[in-house]
Amino acid sequence: MTQAIPVSAEGPPAVTPPELGTTPVRRAGWRRLLVLGPLVALVVTVLLPYLQIPLPGLLDGVSNTPGNLQLFAVCLVFGGLAASYDLLFGRTGLLSFGHALYFAAGIYGTDVLVTHAGLALWQAAVFAVVGSTILAALLGAIALRTTGIAFAMVTLAFAQVGAILVARDFGGLTGGEEGLPLDTARVPDFLLGVANTVNLYWLALAYLAVVVLVVSRVAASPTGRVLAGLRDDERRVGVLGLDPYRYKLVAFTLAGALASLGGVVYVLVVGGASPHVTSSELTLSLLVMVVLGGPGTRWGPVLGGILYMYLDHRLTNVATDLPGPLGEPLFVLGAIFILAVYFFPGGLASLKSRLAPITAAFNRREPRTRT
C-alpha cells in the first residue's frame, strides 16, 4: 500500500532546468562565428586587392602586388576546379582519372579559337565551353558503361589520348611541348597588362563563386540526393526504379562543363596554354585536393584546392634552399599531405567536429547568464 505524498495548494515548486535558466554566451558566439565566417571570408576576398597586408614568409611583399594577385587567381581557379571534381568523386562516388581533359579542352579550345581562328574572346569562350560539355557527355556515355576500376581506367585512357594530341601538335594548332601563347590582340584591354591583374583576380573569384553555387544547388536538389544515394549504394537506387546511368551521366557532364569554364579563366590568368594541363598527374592532384579538403563537403574541396596550389607555388621557391630531400617540393608536399590525412582523415572540413570537444569544454568553463 502506497503512502500519499501531500501536495500544497499552490502546487509543486517550479523547477527550472539549468539549460533554460542560463545560456552559454560563448557557445552562441561560436555559432555566430561559424555562420558569419564564410560571409566575412567572402568580403575579405573581394576587398583583398585594396588591402596592403604584409605577410613575410607567406608572400613576397604585401598581399595586393600583381604577382601575389596572380597567385591568388590561380589558387581560386583550382579551388573551383577541385569543387567541380568533387561533384564526381565526393558526391557521386565516381573515381575519374580524366577530369583534367575537360579543363584542358577549355584552355586549348579558347586559345586555338582566339589565336588561330581569330574569334573574339567571348565567342571563343562560348564555343570552348559548349564543345567541352558535348565532349564530356559523349565520353561519359561510353565510360559510364563500366564501373569501379574499369571506369577509372577508361577515363584515364581518354585523358592520355588528349595529352598525345596536344603533344604531337597536329596541324600546328597546339604548339606541342612549347605550348600556345594567347593572342592578346583579341583580348579586351581590361584583362591585359600588369595593372589589370586585379580584374583577372576578380574573374577567378567569380568563377569559384559560380562553381560553389552550382554544386551546392545540385547537392540540395532531388538530383543531388540521388547522387548521394549512388555514392552510398547504387543497387538501392536501381531498386527504387531510378536509372543510375542517367544520373551519373548528368553529374559527369556538368562536372566537365564546370571544369572547361575554369579552363577559360585559367588561360586568361596565365596568358596561354601549356601541355602539363593535359596530363593525368593533374587529375591525381585534383584527387589530392579533394581528399585534403574533405570530399562531399561544401568548402572542403575549395580549401583543399587553394591550399594545395599555394603550397605548390611557395614550396618551389622556398624548398630549394633546404638540405637533402627537404629541397624537393614534391617531397615536402607529399609529407604534408600524409600528415594531414593521418591526423584529419576527413580533411580540413573535419576540423570543426574534431575541435568540438575542445570548444565544448571551453564553453562549460565559465557559463554566464543573460539578463
| Residue 53: predicted pLDDT | 84
| Residue 134: predicted pLDDT | 97
* Residue 142 contacts residue 157 (beta carbons within 8 Å): no
| Residue 15: predicted pLDDT | 47
| Residue 329: predicted pLDDT | 65
Task: List pLDDT tens digits, range 121-137.
Answer: 999 999 999 999 999 99
Region 11-31 average pLDDT: 49
41 vs 365, residue with greater confidence: 41
Strand pairing partners for 272? 181
Task: List pLDDT tens digits, range 297-340.
Answer: 888 999 999 999 998 888 776 665 665 565 566 677 777 778 87
Helix/strand/coil percent split, the chain, to 5 = 75, 0, 25
Residues 58, 300, 108, CA angle at the centre, nearest 5°? 80
Q: How many helices (H) and strands (E) does the chain have?
A: 14, 2
Alpha-carbon distance values, 132 to 125, 145, 260 (Å): 10, 20, 6
Task: List pLDDT tens digits, range 216-274.
Answer: 999 999 999 999 999 998 889 888 889 999 999 999 999 999 999 999 999 999 999 99
**Could you tell me the three cell numbers for 62?**
604585401
SS3 state of residue 296:
coil
Region 279-296 average pLDDT: 88
| Residue 362: predicted pLDDT | 56
Which sign does the torsion angle of CA 113, 85, 87, 290 carry? negative
Q: Indicate whether 14 pLDDT > 80.
A: no
3 vs 253, residue with greater confidence: 253
Displacement of CA 237 from its chain's centroid (Å): 27
**For the chain, first and last CA: distance in Å?**
48
Determine the Cα–Cα distance for residues 357 and 364; give it in Å rounded to an integer. Answer: 11
Give Cβ neighbours of residue 47 (< 8 Å, ≥ 6 apart): none
Q: Indicate whether 110 pLDDT > 90.
A: yes
Q: What is the mean pLDDT of the chain?
A: 84
Q: Indicate whether 22 pLDDT > 50.
A: no
Determine the Cα–Cα distance for residues 44 and 60; give it in Å rounded to an integer. Answer: 19
| Residue 120: predicted pLDDT | 93
Determine the Cα–Cα distance for residues 106 and 113; give it in Å rounded to an integer. Answer: 11
* Residue 78 contacts residue 306 (beta carbons within 8 Å): yes
Q: Indicate whether 3 pLDDT > 90.
A: no
Give Cβ neighbours of residue 58 (< 8 Å, ≥ 6 apart): 314
Domain ranges of the chain: 62-280
Determine the Cα–Cα distance for residues 227 and 237; give it in Å rounded to an integer. Answer: 9
Task: List pLDDT tens digits, range 28-48.
Answer: 555 555 556 677 777 888 888
Q: Which of 69, 34, 165, 154 is nearest to 108 (CA)?
A: 165
Determine the Cα–Cα distance for residues 118 and 116; give it in Å rounded to an integer. Answer: 6
Determine the Cα–Cα distance for residues 127 and 124; give it in Å rounded to an integer. Answer: 5
